[in-house]
């Protein structure tokens, strides 16, 4: 049984009496009674996180089985989300992708007429990104340590904020790196989503390396401290049969795994589906004048 509650909630500063939600294989999940932020406590050490983020980590999309298929899924999803900004138009300029990974979000940004830059921690990924986008476009650092006099028109952070130890520091830094009127776009698992509520401790996004879990309300609260949130909605991904099958086998636990397997049987192998995957998507703007 977990005896130590989180000493510190970085979202609202609440230091007392969080609710213990559940435990999964020794990992304890807590919820702040004041703001609703869900957090993991104790957090894994830096060493453990480094182990988790090994080369193998990026294989969740079935890249090893079907690299081109995995790439298509990612590209199509980024494209869909860029194209559905509800009238918020990104008018060219520069974009900084934080946690650029394989560079798919940068590729789509380029396609949308933006000039992409990327931050990435993995040395292997940096090597590949530099080949693709040029040495001057890729920085081998996290956002906290990134220093530049440049100000960006757009900053993107897909599936990043749930991994960081201090979400406020990261959003504050993003706000500083944006030009006045610039946009931050981000996605993260949504613990208030239907799938989270239905699946409880079996929810696929509960992972040892996800330190904080937001819903639309706590995300608004985080963003509002630094920017003007203008769109917070369910995130959509464009998924293929094969992607869902690979993800299901790796991450979904019984009995849900068997249910998804059975469901897939009814879906044509070539089908592409725009699905809400239990994540949220947010767009927030830096005020024109401060
Ligand atoms: Zn709180």
**H helices, E strands: number in the chain:** 9, 11
pTM, entire model: 0.87
Q: How far does the centroid of ligand 1 lie from the alpha carbon of residue 129, in Å?
A: 37
Q: Where are the domains of the chain?
A: 1-42, 55-285
Percent of the chain with pLDDT over 90: 58
Q: Are the C-beta atoms of residues 249 and 241 closer than 8 Å to each other?
A: no
Above pLDDT 70, what percent of the chain?
91
pLDDT, one tens digit per residue, over 137-188 is 999 999 999 999 999 999 999 999 999 999 999 999 999 999 999 999 999 9
Smallest CA-to-CA distance from 279 within 220, 193, 210 is with: 193
Distance (Å) from CA 8 to ligand 1 centroid:
9
Out of 4-8, 63-67, 146-150, 195-199, the most confident range is: 146-150
Burial of 198-211, coded b for 16+ CB within 10 Å and e otherwise, reads ebeebbbbbbeebb
Q: Which tens digit of pLDDT belongs to each residue from 57-71?
A: 555 555 555 677 778
Q: How close is the Cα of 41 to the center of ligand 1, in Å?
A: 14
Ligand 1 centre and the CA of 85: distance in Å?
29
- pLDDT for the residue numbered 284: 95
The alpha carbon of 13 and the centre of ligand 1 are apart by a number of angstroms equal to 6
Asked if the model's pLDDT at residue 250 lies above 60, the reply is: yes
Q: How far is the CA of 223 from the centre of ligand 1 (A)?
A: 14
The pLDDT assigned to 1 comes to 46
Task: For residue 16, report the distance from its CA to the centre of ligand 1, in Å.
Answer: 9
CB atoms within 10 A of CB 56: 9
CB 208 within 8 A of CB 31: no
What's the confidence (pLDDT) of residue 260?
87
CATH code for the part of the protein at 55-285? 3.40.50.150
38 burial via Cβ count (<10 Å: 0-12, 13-18, 19+): buried
pLDDT of residue 5: 59
Cis peptide before 255 (omega within 30 of 0): yes
pLDDT of 26 > 50? The answer is yes
């Amino acid at each position: 049984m977990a005896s130590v509650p989180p000493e510190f909630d970085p979202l609202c500063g609440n230091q007392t009496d969080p609710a213990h939600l559940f435990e999964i294989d020794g990992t304890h999940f807590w919820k702040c009674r004041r703001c609703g932020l869900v957090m993991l406590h104790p957090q894994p050490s830096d060493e453990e996180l480094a182990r988790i983020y090994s080369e193998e980590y990026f294989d969740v999309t079935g890249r090893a089985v079907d690299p081109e298929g995995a790439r298509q899924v990612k590209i199509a999803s980024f494209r869909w989300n860029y194209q559905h900004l509800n009238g918020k138009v990104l008018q060219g300029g520069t974009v900084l992708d934080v946690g650029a990974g394989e560079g798919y979000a940068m590729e789509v940004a380029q396609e949308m007429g933006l000039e992409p830059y990327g931050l990435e921690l993995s040395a292997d990924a940096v090597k590949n990104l530099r080949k693709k986008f040029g040495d001057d476009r890729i920085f081998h650092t996290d956002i906290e340590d990134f220093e530049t006099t440049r100000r960006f028109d757009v900053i993107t952070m897909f599936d990043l904020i749930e991994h960081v130890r201090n979400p406020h520091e990261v959003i504050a830094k993003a706000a500083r790196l944006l030009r006045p009127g610039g946009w931050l776009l981000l996605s993260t698992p949504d613990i208030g989503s239907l799938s989270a509520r239905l699946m409880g401790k079996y929810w696929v996004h509960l992972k040892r390396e996800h330190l904080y879990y937001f819903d639309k309300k706590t995300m608004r609260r985080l963003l509002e401290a630094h920017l003007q949130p203008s769109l917070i909605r369910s995130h959509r991904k464009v998924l293929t049969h094969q992607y869902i099958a690979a993800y299901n086998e790796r991450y979904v636990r019984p009995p849900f795994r068997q249910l998804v397997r059975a469901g897939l049987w009814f879906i044509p192998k070539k089908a592409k589906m725009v699905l809400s995957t239990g994540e949220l998507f947010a767009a927030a703007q830096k005020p024109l004048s401060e």
